[in-house]
Structure 1
């Protein structure tokens, strides 16, 4: 049974640096104040009542959890313990910086029920990290990921394609390195330029040019494809839409409230287009896919279908739960062609 995530935002708490791109309070819509013990207990109780029996995962997002004073960490985790013991809460997840973890810290967190640690890697290129004001190098991220894995916890890595000095090839190498270091899952957050940040000033001065939406989608689809081939879960693409992200706060960059769906949809478009190349231009055809992927095949505002047949010739999309999530079947006039995103698509990163 899929768990429900109970989020607690501790925006920028514990962070010893102010990175050029960062404004966690805008990103999360939270003031960044720490929740009290009672607030944590009450929030978990509230989510339990609406979870319809599903287990809960508690997550502390936004700040650098392990950089907080140990007493503060203990106070945040203490009210969760009874819920862990009763089985109401299945696991606890924290986010932190890679240079704020060591074996002793991971063991202490694991002893208090933490089973997942995400680290803000952002890039595995030391020049990109320096230009972004991260205050650590790529080796720190590799060491942190290995430390998490050695202690038996699940490790996550957050990557930010498009930072100053970054290139598509460098972003791809960053993903390869976190996979090699043992990451169990990743998030892709292509850069968004937020008003009031040092990055915004560089952008407004013409010194920095972020990926736009089209460029970000083209890069992220290839990163997603590589992760899929490596068996690595991609649990999010793009910042979550919220009250803090709007036309006043987002100056530029790759942002869309449904960016993940746009990226996945491109993979299905590329696969169907590749398979349908054998279909005569004047022939209607159908595409069969898993029911949960129908919207990805169709595309937002039916964009994929319009690109497949700009002449308006019929393209019918049919659900079939016997297919794998990554599979599609193209049929026309008794001919049938099957393809799989993971095994049948190939990309050249230089094309981005």
Structure 2
């Protein structure tokens, strides 16, 4: 029995089928890596910007997309697919780069939608307008070549807009002292502006929060959660902090300056957090997913299924569910699923 509003449930209720997010690396950069803000990156960020690194190795979006399609369709030909621009900060750079990137995604065969991962400080009014309009691109064939325009009706025009558009924002924490400690490069006020400006354009925003950041305890995390819930978010991702090899956080850990959450501590934290979250908020993730070979500590961070099982058992034993302390105090919503 599910105890929270999963992304899978949201997709199935909306589209009547399973929707698979395909992670894509568009070769993006980050102001915290290229020297604009810093060259050190966030203390927890791995060398590939929490993605595959394929874009930087010359693999096109098309080739990455088709490889994933082939893999998934061998096991389930009926599912739908959407692109997840995951690596680094995908709105960083010129507006023209972002426009081209969104056009390329809209043209991917069988692509239902897109989730664009980025930092709050890599957005402005023009880029937000582009993201809000990326469901309205039209592919027009002229002279044997494809061109793209917005809301146009050209010869042989064919709608190739995206039905599902999400902006995924790394908020991490509401505490500016923590953001400085992890070398984030922006403050909480920047995050608030980005969420509000995106939501005002009708964009579905998924905020990312991290549990177990250096210098933070459960109280500090729950304060960040309540702050995030005061913003116009449609979704949330909660990440347990793990220590990737080769990062500044790894050096802190090896020197005894950082201790990650224990498995039972993280389960307890989620049991405190999920009931505070309204049932309408879509939980895109409740646990981090380390890339193969990058995990230094804690070992339990690699045991995704086991942690999810622990969480379900703990919430059942304590008679908890998402929204119990918010909008659905009487009973677990049946549409959460079994």
TM-score, with structure 1 as normaliser: 0.68
Deviation for aligned residue 1:262: 2.5
Provide the alpha-carbon RMSD of the alignment.
3.0
Match of 2:316 among 257, 262, 268: 268
Query: Could you say which residue in structure 1 is the equivalent of 2:297?
Result: 251
Question: Is contact 1:127–1:165 with CA below 8 Å preserved after alignment?
Answer: no
Once residues 238 and 48 of structure 1 are traced to their aligned partners in structure 2, the CA distance between those partners, rounded to angstroms, is: 22
Match of 1:131 among 161, 170, 181: 181
Aligned residues: 272
2:63 matches 1:39 = yes
2:134 matches 1:112 = yes
2:206 matches 1:182 = no
Deviation for aligned residue 1:167: 1.7
Match of 2:220 among 156, 163, 170: 170
- C-alpha change, 1:111 and 1:205, in structure 2 (3 Å) is same
3-state DSSP of counterpart to 1:134: coil
Question: Is contact 1:185–1:235 with CA below 8 Å preserved after alignment?
Answer: yes
Question: Is contact 2:83–2:115 with CA below 8 Å preserved after alignment?
Answer: yes
Q: Deviations over 1:78-131 (max 9, x none)?
A: 3333358xxx32211100001111221111123233721010111111111110
3-state DSSP of counterpart to 2:91: helix
Once residues 208 and 237 of structure 2 are traced to their aligned partners in structure 1, the CA distance between those partners, rounded to angstroms, is: 5
Once residues 171 and 254 of structure 1 are traced to their aligned partners in structure 2, the CA distance between those partners, rounded to angstroms, is: 20
Query: Could you say which residue in structure 2 is the equivalent of 1:63?
Result: 88
Once residues 26 and 97 of structure 1 are traced to their aligned partners in structure 2, the CA distance between those partners, rounded to angstroms, is: 12
Structure with greater helix share of residues = 1
- C-alpha change, 1:243 and 1:180, in structure 2 (3 Å) is same
* Structure 1: runs of 5+ lacking an equivalent: 273-324, 327-340, 346-352
Question: Is contact 1:191–1:253 with CA below 8 Å preserved after alignment?
Answer: no
Once residues 269 and 25 of structure 1 are traced to their aligned partners in structure 2, the CA distance between those partners, rounded to angstroms, is: 39
Query: Could you say which residue in structure 2 is the equivalent of 1:322?
Result: none
Once residues 28 and 271 of structure 2 are traced to their aligned partners in structure 1, the CA distance between those partners, rounded to angstroms, is: 29
* Structure 2: runs of 5+ lacking an equivalent: 1-15, 34-40, 136-161, 332-338
- C-alpha change, 1:177 and 1:254, in structure 2 (3 Å) is farther
Match of 2:205 among 147, 155, 160: 155
